[in-house]
Amino acid sequence: MKTEKVLKNKDFNRKIEIYDSTLRDGTQGEGFSLSLDDKLIIADILDELGVHFIEGGYPLSNPKDNKFFELSSKKKYINSKITAFGSTKKKNSKASSDVGLLTLSDLDVKYVTIFGKSWDLHVKEILKVSYEENLELIADSVEFLKQSGKIVFFDAEHFFDGFKNNEEYSVKTIKSALSSGAEKAVLCDTNGGTLPHEISNIINKLSDYYNIDPDKLGIHAHNDTDCAVANTISAVLSGISHVQGTINGYGERTGNANLSSIIPNLELKLGFHCISKNKLKNLTKVSHLIDEISNNIPVKNKAYVGESAFAHKAGMHANAVLKNPSSYEHIDPLLVGNARRFLISDLSGKGNIEAKAKELGFDLSRINEEQEKELLNKIKEMENHGFNFESADGSFKMLLNKYSSKKYNNYFKLISFRVAIEKNTLQNNIEDNENNYNILSEAVVMLDINGNIEHTVALGDGPVNALDNALRKSLLKFYPILNEMKLSDFKVRVINSSNMKSGTGSFVRVLIESSDKTSKWTTIGVSENIIEASYQALVDSINYKLIKENI
């Protein structure tokens, strides 16, 4: 592949159409499912982001998708066109009587996408029709939808595999679609096995040898070789202006081309016009919203939009970024709505502590050089014992306060706590059945609160909840502001280390996420006793809230 050849169609003023298939192709991915309401919400989010087409679903496949088109047709989308998905007509039938095509023609949408076979293997062995009959299926289907007033995109399924196996026939399939009135013939790398140099070589041959205008083509890549984004970029550099994909790369098997990477690559790196620069600043928020709506955990190390995309852990890196961010950041994270983060760990240096403190709004001038050195050594010691401050900003800020604020630890002092769990038979039940037992969790705490001894008992849904309830019960009369605070997440992880116990005697790391009306924070505790680890995290969380409120 010659670089000059790939770049010959690179027009910096060219507009790239973004066709989002999250609501249809994305839902074919394992662990990704959406309700009707979810789909309508995501359509609004994508419209606000500025994608040009939103593929709403396959109306023939299920009632939910049918209802989506009914409801979305009553909405006004500012930037996006809703598109319906279907297939070419069934063999041995007329397009005018095909149920799938009739369903598409009756929908209140202007744009439809249908897929058809472009790989001779599928024509012969899957569809089991002759080559000529398959071309007729494509032509008749596109013509029928055009006559119904639709603008048609033709997804040439398995196009690149077909081209490599039977070049002339695969080209005939897309020419059949285009000559019948298709707006675009979208080249699909359905199996995801094509590499970037093959993508550009094939598209260049379509243009130079077969005289097909690249502007009449689109690209739809799958990620089975982890090249879907690169393949899409190669297609655009070869002249294609219609790009299909999904937010965060959701999709069948290993996923689809990830629009969360494609859009900023095209917009920021190559200068093409996809969505406006202002809308691009919403990309990280959109990525995380779709993860949240689909009940998926965001991938931290995802390019551009991941929480770790602009996170700095090594001390030298942090120090350099403070002097000049471009030393270890390829773009300003704000361009995609992300944020720079500094991580605290046993790899940290002075630069990390200074940067992280600044990020948390902490004035390091309150700590002298000796205290700062002591703090760094303390962090490394704690990390060696299983603490991990990367995900516990709240506890790190408490650690900073321990070295600078006399107020810290004066809110209350622990005298003792005890947690009891009792499992007993429900009254009037003597059968040995798990459903006939009751589990009771009770915590007793004794605190010194400004010279006042508080001895409190509380029940809870489990021992940690009971301990949390007992602490709050003791503290609320002195610090009513704690009523605003709630525990929003609780995670426990066994720490595997060669110098620690294993099995049921293992050390555990507890992370507690707390929140109030305006913010959230995470605190950490580590111990071989899960209750003690939880207590450490709870106390840091409470102290964080009180310091935050300047109590």
**Exposure on the CB side of residue 493, measured as CA atoms within 13 A:** 13
Place of tokens 């009756």: 106
Domain 13-293 matches domain 412-478 at the CATH topology level: no
Cα–Cα distance for residue pair 265/271, rounded to 1 Å: 9
| Contact present, 236 and 266 (Cβ < 8 Å) | yes
Residue ranges covered by each domain of the chain: 13-293, 311-384, 412-478
Tokens of 319: 């120090």
Could you report the per-residue pLDDT of 50-86, keeping only the tens digit for each? 999 999 999 888 888 889 999 999 999 999 999 999 9
Q: Select 13-293's CATH number: 3.40.640.10, 3.20.20.70, 3.10.530.10, 3.40.140.10.
A: 3.20.20.70
CA-based nearest residue to 95, from 83, 109, 112, 70: 112
Angle at 140 between CA 137 and CA 141, to 5 degrees: 80
pTM listed for this prediction: 0.72
> Rg of the chain's alpha carbons, rounded to an integer?
30
| 10-residue averages of pLDDT along the chain (551 residues) | 49 85 93 91 95 93 88 93 94 89 93 95 92 94 95 96 95 96 96 96 96 96 97 96 96 95 95 93 93 87 90 76 82 91 63 66 68 74 70 76 64 94 72 70 94 94 93 94 90 69 73 89 90 93 88 80
Hey, how many other C-beta atoms are within 10 angstroms of the C-beta on 162?
Answer: 26
Which pLDDT score is estimated for 8? Answer: 52
Q: Which CATH number fits domain 412-478: 3.50.50, 3.40.390, 3.40.50, 3.30.160?
A: 3.30.160
CA dist 128 and 133 (Å) reads: 10
Q: 76 Cβ partners below 8 Å, 6+ apart?
A: none
Indicate the SS3 state at residue 360: coil
DSSP annotation of 336 reads G
Provide the β-strand partners of residue 152: 112
Please report, in angstroms and rounded to a whole number, the separation of the first and last CA atoms in the chain: 67
Each residue of 293-342: pLDDT tens digit?
888 888 989 999 998 888 887 767 777 877 888 888 899 999 999 888 77
